[in-house]
Structure 1
Amino acid sequence: MPNLSHFMIPADDVDRARRFYSALLGWKIEPVQSSPDSMGIAAMQYHDITTGPPAAGTLNTGGLYKRRMTEPILDFMQVDDIDAVLAKVAGLGGTILIPKTAIPGVGHNAMILDTEGNLFGLLMPEKK
């Protein structure tokens, strides 16, 4: 069965979104250098995202780009301390839509709107 291998986040303001995700989750977000064969990467303002070191059961790469349509994302970011992350959301310009919620046998999750109006989730797995 195919696994999710990459995620992409559309943004109206790429720099604002980069600052939000870098400060909130500690992601490394860097612009992709365009070349004649890069299929319009410069116009997309495309940035590579590295979420952390590879780990079993997680995805650690993605992209951030200039929104072209009304495309959404809905991905969950795995965190070690959901309370610490949620405490930073409002100060960075995001909105908590669904607060920390227990999922028995799984862990805790929450849903957030970022600075660009994208919905995403946080997941803190249950300690085994």
Structure 2
Amino acid sequence: MSRPVHFEIHASDPQALMDFYGELFGWAFNKWSGGEYWMISTGPDDRPGINGGLLPRHAPRPPENVTPNAFVITVDVEDLDAALDKAHAISDRAAVCVPRMAVAGIGWLAYMRDPDGNVFGMMQPDPNAA
């Protein structure tokens, strides 16, 4: 069974959202060495929950009160290519919106839109990804 392992917040103003979530929930943000990306620690590792990331928004923010402007969740999968193929087999409306890419030292990542247009990520762990 695949489980959520990571979420992402897309931010028009990254520092403003880091300040907001830091004060609201006590989350800690640490800049990742791979670019404009901040890792989010949501709490101690011995408590239930997942950590995430924050990055600059790469598309216009959806209009307010028209559609949800939501976090992107990433689900751990054993085989990314098989999971992409399975999604397409389940629904011809499922579509890759960001193709498979390496996240150096972490794994292989792709983003899809579900049949209703919601974006989610799938990550195949692989410490040799480059």
- Structure with the greater relative contact order (CA < 8 A, sep ≥ 6): 1 or 2? 1
Q: TM-score, normalised to structure 1's length?
A: 0.45
